[in-house]
A and B are shown apart, each in its own frame.
Chain A
Amino acid sequence: MKRISSATALIAGLLAATPAWAAEEWGLPEEEVARFEAKVVDVLCELTGDCPTDCGGGKRQLGLVTDAGALVLPVKNFTAFTGAAAELIDFCGKRVVADGLFTTNRGTKIFALQFVKEAPDGKWQRANRFLPKWAEANGFQAGGPESKQWFRNDPQVKAVIGRDGVLGLGTEADKDYLEKQ
């Protein structure tokens, strides 16, 4: 069985991250540390003109339009298995300073947001606001064990994995596989 150890190391790093107000290097492909000012936009709105007033209320992917007019897609934040919309939604339509990592691979360039503040002089926030928002939405304590393992306690995840299994092939396939491990 093949395994890739870097994933576990990176996820462990996210779970145990300590405060610092500058991007950490994660060893991603063609990684570039970057800090830049940009406007927070609803990507679907930016591309198609379908524009709710609240950028979709956190349910749409959000982008960063730089002063040069480029649309940057923040795909990741500073919490395991979570994206950047929860970090940026409070800045919908505003200018921010974004700090993090660009990575380019497999024909696509994306951004991992690690810190953000309202431009030019707002207070820096670590891009880990997903967890408290998730905890509040699901009736758990922020920082509690359920939140730290949010991905195993999320109701949507539990419904899909509970029905289709870890492998997505049905619970019997899971049972057959795990019995062999």
Chain B
Amino acid sequence: MLKIPAVFATAGLALSAATALPVSAATGERVKVTGEVIDSWCYITEIMFPEGSAHHQCAVWCAAGGIPVGILGDDGTVYMVLKMGDDATSVANPAVLEIQSHRVKVDGALYKRDGINYLVVDRVLTDEGIVKVNHEEWGVQPFGK
């Protein structure tokens, strides 16, 4: 059993030196991100096919269950969504459930910490709905209905 993975320990040592100022002082990098709203757990672990109409129901379940919702950027980068507009909740956020699996373009602030990209979304600029219609190929994940 590991006490703590080396990558975190190394990053932590660097951070402890670099963040003498509170991390809360950070303002984040202004970004616009375009991609699919995803269930981060299923996407990162690949325990099932995790995108589009095939995975929509599961993505809604996981968002309602409090698993962090992400945005899979067009370049393959995963962003963890911490806030959506004026609503600072990120556990079962109703507005996020409404756009689960949709292709969106958002404007917000990006915070990178210990290998994870965190996104504070100010606005959803565009919402194309679900564009990956892939249930014929993949079925309904994970139970088939």
Chain A interfacial positions (CB closer than 8 Å to B): 1-4, 6-8, 10-11, 22-23, 28-29, 32-36, 43-51, 56, 58-61, 66-73, 75-76, 79, 81-86, 102-103, 105-110, 130, 150-151, 154, 156-157, 160-161, 164, 166-169, 173, 177-178, 181
Write the B12-33 contact mask toward A (1 if CB under 8 angstroms, else 0).
1101100100111111100000
The winner among B64, B88, B101, B135 for most chain A CB atoms within 10 A is B64
Inter-chain CA distance A70–B10, complex, in Å, is 9
Q: Which residue of A69, A81, A84, A130 is within 8 Å of B15 (Cβ)?
A: A69
Q: Which residues of B contact A48 (CB under 8 A)?
A: 24, 26-28, 109, 111, 120
Q: Which residue of A lies closest to B80 (CB)?
A: A73
Contacts of B45 in A (CB 8 A): 28-29, 103, 105
Chain A contacts of B13 at CB under 8 A? 68-69
**A59, B28: Cβ atoms closer than 8 Å:** no
Asked whether A43 and B82 contact (CB < 8 A) given A60-B90, A69-B16, A106-B44, the answer is yes
Distance of B78 from chain A, by nearest CB (Å): 5
Q: Is B97 engaged at the interface, CB distance under 8 Å to the other chain?
A: yes
Q: Which chain A residues border B4 with CB–CB below 8 Å?
A: 34, 36, 66, 68, 70
A-B interface pairs (CB < 8 A), number: 250
A-B contact sample (9 more), CB < 8 A, given A36-B4, A157-B64? A7-B142, A28-B47, A48-B24, A49-B26, A59-B91, A68-B13, A160-B97, A167-B140, A169-B133
Which of A84, A160, A166 contacts B140 (CB under 8 A)? A166
A33, A61, A157, most chain B CB atoms within 10 A: A61
State the Cβ distance, B36 to closest chain A Cβ, in Å. 11
Q: Which of B85-99 contact A (CB under 8 A)?
A: 88-94, 97-98
Which 10 A-B residue pairings sit nearest by Cβ, starting from the closest? Answer: A68-B12, A49-B24, A7-B48, A83-B66, A70-B12, A82-B65, A168-B56, A69-B16, A59-B89, A70-B8
In the complex, how many angstroms separate the beta carbon of B104 from the nearest chain A beta carbon?
13
- When chains A and B are docked, how far (Å) is the Cα of A20 from the Cα of B94? 35
Is B74 close to A, CB under 8 A? no
If A4-B48, A47-B111, A48-B24 touch, does A34 touch B5 (CB 8 Å cutoff)? yes
Residue in A46, A108, A168 whose Cβ sees the most chain B Cβ within 10 Å: A168
